[in-house]
Amino acid sequence: MNAAAREVAVVKAKPYPFFFTPKTTTLIVIDMQRDFIEHGGFGAVLGNDVSLLAKAVQAVKDLMSLCRRHQVSMIHTREAHRADLSDCPPAKLRRGHATLRIGDAGAMGCILIDGETGNEIVPELAPLPGETVIVKPGKGAFYATLLDDLLRGRGITHLLFAGVTTEVCVQTTMREANDRGYECLLVEDATESYIPAYKLAILEMLRAQGGIIGWTAPLAAISSALEGTCRRCVGYRGRPSEEQCRRMNGC
């Protein structure tokens, strides 16, 4: 691990600056799957305009590249069920579209089933060899998975979040993580919702009351923190230390 991975990065975030070290931080990319983003999958079957989620792909891609350049580790998730649906609670199965349900044959294979075409992560965001992919049966990525053990085993204390949808799997996972003691930040332009007003509401909700669930910040602020100059620290070139930023008033 090089020195940069141990340095503190300071993000100009809401409701106040977010400090993290790459070495103890993981980017969690939630469910950037064809089933939610492309036509013919689970999201479309439920009547959603999937093009709204496709808007996040480029920002997620840029965020992934940034994290890879700065040794921020990465975990991808996929919402998926076994083909026999033994991990799908009847309540989940009953909801949604009246006739086309989880496990039924759709345009990209059986809907939300592990191994089907629709369940794959979109090609632009394909995980690199060695990056972990968590297959999760729930909306939250901690439910019925080894995610918490994995993060604790790697000494991770801080999480950056990206992915879809803001108001379902992303916020559920961020809330689960917050309850487990992780410091969490959602990257604002690297998440999308089928209902844009919900996205805005969730961003407000998560950071309300002094960051009750965590922080939010645009990708540009993460990028500045990792590779740029701290703009408010006039005259200071390079990444400021935590102490320097505190002294220079919350950059």
What's the closest the beta carbon of residue 122 comes to ligand C5J, in angstroms? 13
**Token pair for residue 168?**
């379902």
Pick one of 9, 20, 23, 31: the residue that binds ligand C5J (CB under 6 A): 31
Q: Is 169 in the site for ligand C5J (CB under 6 A)?
A: yes
| Closest listed residue to residue 161, CA positions, set 208, 203, 197, 204 | 203
Is 160 or 169 the residue whose CB approaches ligand C5J more closely? 169
Pick the catalytic residue: 12, 14, 23, 136?
136
Go through the chain and tell me how many residues it has. Answer: 251
**Is the four-CA dihedral 120, 67, 138, 210 of positive or negative sign?**
negative
In angstroms, rounded to a whole number, what is the distance separating the alpha carbons of residues 71 and 93? Answer: 39
Q: Is 190 in the site for ligand C5J (CB under 6 A)?
A: no
Cβ partners under 8 Å of residue 194, min gap 6: 43, 48, 49, 50, 52, 53, 165
**Smaller CB separation from ligand C5J, 12 or 34:** 34
Find the catalytic residue in 67, 88, 110, 169: 169
Closest CA to 196 of 59, 75, 92, 53: 53
The answer for residues whose C-beta is within 8 angstroms of residue 172's C-beta and 6 or more apart is 138, 139, 140
Under rule CB under 6 A, residue 142 binds ligand C5J: no
- Separation of first and last alpha carbons in the chain: 26
Window contacting ligand C5J (CB under 6 A); options: 58-66, 143-151, 160-168, 240-248: 160-168
**Single residue of 165, 191, 216, 224 touching ligand C5J by CB under 6 A:** 165
| CB hemisphere CA count around 74 (13 angstroms) | 23
Q: What are phi and psi of 184, to 5 degrees?
A: -120, 140
Question: What is the sign of the dihedral through the CA atoms of 161, 165, 166 and 167?
Answer: negative
Told to judge if 149 belongs to the known catalytic residues of this protein, a careful annotator would answer no
Active site residue 31: yes
Q: Which of 12, 14, 23, 31 does the annotation list as catalytic? A: 31
Least distance in Å: CB of 42 to ligand C5J? 7
Rule CB under 6 A: choose which of 36, 142, 161, 215 binds ligand C5J. Answer: 36
- Name the residue nearer to ligand C5J (CB basis): 162 or 169: 169
By CB under 6 A, the residues from 63 to 82 that bind ligand C5J are: 79
38 near ligand C5J, rule: CB under 6 A: no
* Residues of this chain that bind ligand C5J (CB under 6 A): 31, 36, 79, 139, 164-165, 168-169
Which residues carry out catalysis? 31, 136, 169
